[in-house]
Amino acid sequence: MRLTRDRTLRVLLGVGLFGYAEWFFGNLYEGVVLTPNLGRSTQEALHHWRAFFRVSNPVYYYIPLAPVSVAATLAAAAIGWRGPRERRRWLAGAAAAGTGAAGVTYWFVTKLNVNLFFGGRSEEEAAALYRSKIGVSTALGVARLALVATAFWCAGRARRTTDPVGSASIEEG
């Protein structure tokens, strides 16, 4: 089976779609279920989070697929850029939104999560840091969800512009 440009795009965008879906629902779970626990008793919650992270680190589940999704989307944009204008628009949207979401994730991991859960700060210092960043963290969490959802939607629309399933049988039949 020869990989045509459209097939390659479908595969790359399929990888991106899978990753964006995992990324979106992982962040949604984090925002709806996990983050509110820090708001009540921040210091006690941080104590339990740190204990949890000694046993299992969610970074190993969430982080690896995000760069793969963005890389697949950027590769799809590079390969599919010579295609129809509609496809370019969707590829550009997916690439921009995915890259933006990766930037927000970088901030979360390097500026917040490392200092809260893995840094050498005491629980009191980490709790004070969290309270000082709660507004920014919440706004960026919502923005990241919107960016990942946008990347997913645009990647899906771009994928629909490639050799749709069944189009060959319609044309031949």
**What is the band of 1 on the pLDDT scale with cuts at 50, 70, 90?**
low
What tens digit of pLDDT does each residue of 48-84 get? 777 777 777 766 766 788 899 999 999 999 999 988 8
149: which residues sit within 8 A by CB, 6+ positions away? 20, 24
Please state the domain extents for the chain: 5-163
C-alpha to C-alpha distance for 152 and 159, rounded to whole angstroms: 10
Residue 138 to residues 26, 32, 111, 168, 173, Cα–Cα distance (Å): 15, 11, 14, 47, 54
In this model, does residue 3 exceed pLDDT 80?
A: no
Give the other-Cβ count within 10 Å of 120's Cβ.
7
What tens digit of pLDDT does each residue of 88-134 get? 999 999 999 999 999 999 988 888 877 777 767 777 887 787 778 77
